[in-house]
Amino acid sequence: MARKGIHFLKTVSKAEAERVWHDALLFGPQVGEMVSLDEAQGRVLHEDVLVPTDVPPFDRALVDGYAVQAADTFPAEEDAPVRLELSPETAPAGYVPKTEVRRGTALEVATGGIIPRGADAVQMVEHSEVEGHELRLYKSIAPGANIQGAGADMRVGETVLRSGQILTTRELGVLAAMGIDTVEVSRRPRVAIISTGDELVSPGQPLGPGKIFDSNATTVAAAVKDNGGVPEFLGVIPDDEEALRAVCGKARDDFDVVILSGGTSKGAGDLTFGIIDSTASPGILVHGVGIKPGKPIVLAAWGGRPVVVLPGFPTSAIITFDLFVAPVIRRLANLPEESDGELAEARLAVGYHSADGRHERVLVNLVRRGGEGLAAYPIAGASGSIHAFSQADGTMEVPADCTVVREGEKVQVAPLARSLKVADLTLIGSHCRGVDLALAILRKERRITAKVIHVGSSAGIEACKRGETDLAGVHLLDPASGEYNVQALEQVGPGGTLVKGYIRRQGIYFRADDFPTDPPNLELLSSDPDLRMLNRTRGAGTRVLLDLLLDEIADRRGVSRTDFRAQISGYSAETRSHNAVAAAVASGRADWGLGIEAVAEAYGLGFHPLRDEEYDFLTLRDRLEREPVRAFLEVLRSVDFRQALDALPGFASDPRTGEWE
């Protein structure tokens, strides 16, 4: 099918894509609707609000005291009080006094009460004394003292709230103070959300083979709300032309904005493209923008209404939503453009290689770098990870003409949240379930936030040396001495110390049905070319242990260590966590791998123990003075943590857990 406008995957710049798309959209006059104040919070004011009546509507007393003529008080002194005749009438709040205050007289008035005729000041009770019908004043006051005049707060005809303001607690209080119980707000655009793909299953439904849960509908709906729209999910639609055409027809007729998720790549996406093009004119305008993530985004229009097909990967979907869709929804909702907020400057902790020729937004984690500001850790390959997006602190932009951002370079980070708050405690190093247990207790009991970055033991040591982490989880075996983590402490130098952690059992993951009689040993697995493994990344403690054991086998056989490793099926395939290895074995993508016992049990895998290892925490001595670090170490020493840890398969606390030298 011939395409209108810019053709299939003819990549254009972000600026060109916006221009072409916005030229086809109709941003007509805003429409207002009346709502009660109870329903108005968070809504956008449609028209300016003028004050209908003075606030306050009368002169009122600001204190409990006596309404007087100020001139009568001028002679008053502590030892020579002024004596005035006190009226028998009083003026509590809500009462209209009938007595006029004349020279030499006074009238009792309460806070908020109407000032009687003739009075021009209120003397506080604290500076007064009453005896019978006589009032004695011991301090002089000026005209107007302790009186709020009519209209002092708001005056009739004054513009007090303006179109486009978001109605928060403060604005609603102002409206109520003026006696207004309904207000005109801008109508929020209705946004249809459609998920497409045979592989998608709605959360809560059974997950069959080859299926994944649809997370995009939930995250996009939340983002629509954040930007002033009203989302409506029209369902997960399979790759079926009739079903997709029907839902698109409903979306075209009933909604202001239409968002589809998935189906942006060539092949399966051709069905979506054809339906969008044929549903209404002008159809598809842009397919392919020079950005990463999000290159295959589709921008279209139906009779001036915006239509967009977001990429299926969660992070790509939400980043392209923020770039292209959020500004359109905010404009339709009469909301101002949202700025990126205050950028945070950081130094890149590790070098980053960018995609050539594409403007890239890279998710990053931010950590404190000792006394030198912030360090940014790029999150590689995060476009398909909703968890990575949820844990990231912000994004750094890499221009299209930049291919490498070097370690140590300064970068500007745009926070993902409205305000950037770096976590109280940072842990960078090896992934471990025991750390998760400790942090859960820490958060519950001390309300301390933590940032955990899984980069492996070796990278954790480097982060500790650079002062980028409070603690580094390590489990590195020294082949020469047979001891754990000694070399790690030596690498950090005299400023470092090792906090004792706990014991955890490493072993082989396998599918129990494949070995019904005896669990497989490492020599058998590494020698069978039909059995594929999944390895851990270089520098991970589990990888170090594996390589040591493989070298022992190679030495016994009298073969080259390098050649022996090279002949193992899957040895060069790497992943960052025990869970990823277990998932690969459980799904059949791999037949074996190494990891900790607790994860094997969680995935229902067989487990053959290899070694009990020591998982410790490396830190700099000056970090031990930080309250969040001290609190974490207290948790490690606590009975609650030890009991929870000992209940995990393959884990055991140590008598010295949480202690250091």
Contacts 24+ apart (CB under 8 A), 273-277: 273/1, 273/3, 273/8, 273/298, 274/1, 275/241, 275/244, 275/245, 275/248, 276/248, 276/300, 276/307, 276/309, 277/1, 277/3, 277/4
Residue 2 has pLDDT above 50, yes or no: no
Please write the tens of the pLDDT for every residue from 523-552.
999 999 999 999 998 888 899 999 999 999
Please write the tens of the pLDDT for every residue from 424-458.
999 999 889 999 999 999 999 888 999 999 888 99
Give, as one character, the DSSP assignment of residue 321.
I
Please check whether residues 455 and 529 belong to one and the same domain.
yes
Q: Are 356 and 406 in contact (CB under 8 A)?
A: no
Residue 382 has pLDDT above 60, yes or no: no
Amino acid at 292: K
Count of Cβ atoms closer than 10 Å to residue 642 Cβ: 18
- Distance separating alpha carbons of residues 424 and 367, to the nearest angstrom: 9
User: Does residue 451 lie in a domain region?
Assistant: yes
User: Does residue 587 lie in a domain region?
Assistant: yes
82-91 and 134-137 beta bridge pairing:
antiparallel
**Could you tell me the pLDDT band of residue 383, with boundaries at 50, 70 and 90?**
low
Total number of domains in the chain: 5
Residue 337 has pLDDT above 60, yes or no: yes
* CATH assignment at residue 172: 3.90.105.10
**Could you tell me the pLDDT band of residue 384, with boundaries at 50, 70 and 90?**
low
Q: What is the pLDDT of residue 1?
A: 36
User: Does residue 603 lie in a domain region?
Assistant: yes
User: Does residue 253 lie in a domain region?
Assistant: yes
User: Does residue 661 lie in a domain region?
Assistant: no
Please check whether residues 362 and 449 belong to one and the same domain.
no
- Distance separating alpha carbons of residues 45 and 48, to the nearest angstrom: 7
Structure tokens at 175: 């409206």
With the CA atoms of 12, 382, 532 and 548 taken in that order, what torsion angle do they form, in degrees rounded to the nearest 10?
130
**Could you tell me the pLDDT band of residue 35, with boundaries at 50, 70 and 90?**
very high
User: Does residue 117 lie in a domain region?
Assistant: yes
Q: Are 351 and 406 in contact (CB under 8 A)?
A: yes
Amino acid at 166: I
Residue 620 has pLDDT above 70, yes or no: yes
- The mean pLDDT value of the chain amounts to 91
* CATH assignment at residue 70: 2.170.190.11
* Three-class secondary structure assignment of 245-314: HHHHHHHHHHCCEEEEECCCCCCCHHHHHHHHHHHCCEEEEEECECEECCCCCEEEEECCEEEEEECCCH
Q: Are 309 and 297 in contact (CB under 8 A)?
A: yes
Please check whether residues 196 and 134 belong to one and the same domain.
no
Last residue of a domain, one of 332, 362, 389: 332
CA-nearest of 94, 27, 559 to 330 is 27
User: Average pLDDT, stretch 196-216?
Assistant: 90
Q: Number of C-alpha atoms within 13 angstroms, CB side, residue 376? A: 31
Please check whether residues 627 and 511 belong to one and the same domain.
yes
Q: What is the pLDDT of residue 339?
A: 63
Q: Are 461 and 491 in contact (CB under 8 A)?
A: yes
Please write the tens of the pLDDT for every residue from 88-108.
999 999 999 999 999 999 999
- Distance separating alpha carbons of residues 325 and 37, to the nearest angstrom: 29
Q: What is the pLDDT of residue 335?
A: 87
Please write the tens of the pLDDT for every residue from 391-415.
888 899 888 888 889 998 999 998 8
Last residue of a domain, one of 332, 354, 386: 332
Q: List residues bridging with 233 in a β-sheet.
A: 193
**Could you tell me the pLDDT band of residue 26, with boundaries at 50, 70 and 90?**
very high
Structure tokens at 389: 């997006």
User: Average pLDDT, stretch 370-398?
Assistant: 79
Residue 385 has pLDDT above 80, yes or no: no
In residues, how long is the chain?
A: 661
Residue 340 has pLDDT above 70, yes or no: no
CA-nearest of 203, 264, 187 to 236 is 203
Residue 417 has pLDDT above 60, yes or no: yes
Residue 164 has pLDDT above 90, yes or no: no
Please write the tens of the pLDDT for every residue from 499-518.
999 999 999 999 999 998 89
User: Average pLDDT, stretch 61-71?
Assistant: 97
* CATH assignment at residue 22: 3.40.980.10
Q: Are 163 and 156 in contact (CB under 8 A)?
A: no
Please check whether residues 47 and 70 belong to one and the same domain.
no
User: Average pLDDT, stretch 650-660?
Assistant: 95
- Distance separating alpha carbons of residues 476 and 429, to the nearest angstrom: 11
Residue 266 has pLDDT above 70, yes or no: no
Please check whether residues 375 and 450 belong to one and the same domain.
no
292: domain range? 14-28+190-332
Find all residues with CB under 8 Å of 375, minimum gap 6, and list them: 346, 347, 348, 349, 366, 367, 368, 369, 466, 468
Q: Are 377 and 351 in contact (CB under 8 A)?
A: no
Q: Is 379 helix (H, G, I), strand (E, B) or coil?
A: coil
Q: What is the DSSP string of 210-248?
A: T-EE--HHHHHHHHHHHTT-EEEEEEEE-S-HHHHHHHH
Share of the chain above pLDDT 70, in %: 95
Please write the tens of the pLDDT for every residue from 561-617.
999 999 999 999 998 888 889 999 999 999 999 999 999 999 999 999 999 999 999
Q: What is the pLDDT of residue 379?
A: 83
- Distance separating alpha carbons of residues 186 and 167, to the nearest angstrom: 11
Q: What is the pLDDT of residue 7?
A: 47
Task: Indicate the range of 70-84, 478-492, 506-520 predicted with least confidence.
Answer: 478-492
Find all residues with CB under 8 Å of 133, minimum gap 6, and list them: 85, 86, 88
Residue 628 has pLDDT above 80, yes or no: yes
Last residue of a domain, one of 98, 119, 148: 148
Q: List residues bridging with 35 in a β-sheet.
A: 183
User: Does residue 513 lie in a domain region?
Assistant: yes
Listed in sequence order, the DSSP H helices in 608-648 are 627-637, 639-646
Share of the chain above pLDDT 90, in %: 69
Please check whether residues 352 and 383 belong to one and the same domain.
yes
* CATH assignment at residue 604: 3.40.190
Count of Cβ atoms closer than 10 Å to residue 643 Cβ: 10
Please check whether residues 358 and 257 belong to one and the same domain.
no
Residue 215 has pLDDT above 60, yes or no: yes
Please check whether residues 407 and 534 belong to one and the same domain.
no
Please check whether residues 350 and 374 belong to one and the same domain.
yes
The H-or-E segment that residue 438 falls in is helix 433-446
User: Does residue 469 lie in a domain region?
Assistant: yes
Please check whether residues 244 and 225 belong to one and the same domain.
yes
Please check whether residues 351 and 465 belong to one and the same domain.
no
Give, as one character, the DSSP assignment of residue 323.
I
* Three-class secondary structure assignment of 11-54: CECHHHHHHHHHHHCCCCCCCEEEEEHHHCCCCEECCCEECCCC
